């Protein structure tokens, strides 16, 4: 099981770009990297997923270097509503279903 390590907390200001880096040194060949966002008392919400290089969607970008031992979630121009916990997960595909093991996420606080 690939263990992930990410900062416990980060602070930012409205309008800034936020980059959260996650390390996953023992990621397996078939594993994907996935990021989730969670607001207090709500279920986690999928943000983005990637295998290698760069993936971009309407809310974030995900950068994964060639060795795949780390990944960086980039949130452009954050707002107060981006204050949440962000989880980096390695998705293990096993027998036809996903297995998501949450580690310690990064608590992002966005200030005015």
Partner 1 sequence: AAGVIQSPRHLIKEKRETATLKCYPIPRHDTVYWYQQGPGQDPQFLISFYEKMQSDKGSIPDRFSAQQFSDYHSELNMSSLELGDSALYFCASSFWLAGGKNTGELFFGEGSRLTVL
Site of tokens 């943000």? 47
SS3 93: strand
Q: Does 42 bind partner 1 (CB under 8 A)?
A: yes
One symbol per residue from 47 to 66: x for binding partner 1 (CB under 8 A), - otherwise; what is it? --x-----------------
**Residues binding partner 1: what is the number (CB under 8 A)?**
26
- Among 2, 22, 27, 44, interactor with partner 1 by CB under 8 A: 44
Helical ranges in 1-112 per DSSP H: none
Inter-residue contact 90 to 103 (CB < 8 Å): no
Q: Whose CA is closest to 93, among 20, 27, 18, 4? A: 27
One symbol per residue from 68 to 97: x for binding partner 1 (CB under 8 A), - otherwise; what is it? -------------------x-x-x-xxxxx
Site of tokens 């990297």? 33
- Among 16, 32, 55, 74, interactor with partner 1 by CB under 8 A: 32
Question: Cα–Cα distance between 1 and 90 in angstroms, integer?
Answer: 8
Q: Does 43 bind partner 1 (CB under 8 A)?
A: yes
Binding residues (CB under 8 A) for partner 1: these are 32, 34, 38, 41-46, 49, 87, 89, 91, 93-105
């Amino acid at each position: 099981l690939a263990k992930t390590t990410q900062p416990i907390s980060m602070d930012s200001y409205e309008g800034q770009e936020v980059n959260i880096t996650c390390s996953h040194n023992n990621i397996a060949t078939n594993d994907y990297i996935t990021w989730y966002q969670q607001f207090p008392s709500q279920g986690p919400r999928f943000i983005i997923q990637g295998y290698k290089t760069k993936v971009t969607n309407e809310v974030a970008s995900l950068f994964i270097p060639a060795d795949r031992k780390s990944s960086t979630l980039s949130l452009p121009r954050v707002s107060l509503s981006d204050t949440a916990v962000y989880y980096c997960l390695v998705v293990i595909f096993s027998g036809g279903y996903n297995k998501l093991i949450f580690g310690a996420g990064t608590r992002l606080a966005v200030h005015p």
